[in-house]
Amino acid sequence: MKIDILTIFPELFASFIDNGIVFRAREKKLLEINLHNIRSFTTDKHHQVDDYPFGGGAGMVMKPEPLYEAITSVLGEDKAPVVYFTPQGRLLNQDIISRYKDKERIIFLCGHYKEIDQRIRDMLVTDEISIGDYVLSGGEVPAMVMIDAVSRLIDGVIGDIESAMTDSHQRGLLGTPHYTRPAKFMDREVPDVLISGNHAEIDKWRQMKARELTMTRRPDLYYGKS
């Protein structure tokens, strides 16, 4: 998968792409990430990327020309989703993430200030995504959220694909509690079933815990299902 990120803060991604799962995916050549500074697609001497909104109101709007130049020149003749991060977008979830995992190419557009000029959304953006019902200062953190969640699903990135598939949300339920050694920590013991060696019982216990947790914490997920 090849991901192009269009941003006015490319430096924000430096440590993110050089660590953890994303770095591992890049090292294995399963993921390529290219950063593009939107400012370098401006033609004026001040490299201006924003301007006042027509009709007035607070905040600045990202200008269409640099965004148009950036998207079209990065995309070239390719067809690829152009994802714009905005609180007005579709709420991101594991289902949506899964739909991107086999894409050859994705363009991520990180906005700033108020929003971007609507004409770019109408002409070039294919998908609009929100990572939650709150307002961030820009699309960089949402882009990192999505890259992290998508890259761990790409075949070959995580050694134990089973581990990714049984995580919270992958089956529409939250995850189960996890324990590691020591078996007793400050008077608190690991549930007996987990050290019983009985795998059928362990599966049943985990399933029950996942259901309990989902029912109490996320009734929307639980009762939205069967």
Residues near ligand ADE (CB under 6 A): 85-87, 130-132, 134-136, 139, 142
The length of the chain is 226
Minimum CB distance to ligand ADE smaller for 148 or for 212: 148
Asked if residue 67 lies in contact with residue 118, where contact means CB atoms within 8 angstroms, the answer is: no
CB of 198 to ligand ADE, least distance (A): 44
CB of 131 to ligand ADE, least distance (A): 4
Rounded to 5 degrees, φ, ψ at 5 are -110, 125
**Per-residue CA distances from 56 to 59, 61, 118, 197, 208 (Å):** 9, 11, 15, 67, 55
Minimum CB distance to ligand ADE smaller for 81 or for 87: 87
Minimum CB distance to ligand ADE smaller for 13 or for 85: 85
Minimum CB distance to ligand ADE smaller for 7 or for 86: 86
CB of 167 to ligand ADE, least distance (A): 22
Contacts of 142 (CB under 8 A, 6+ apart): 85, 92, 110, 129, 130, 131, 136
CB of 136 to ligand ADE, least distance (A): 4
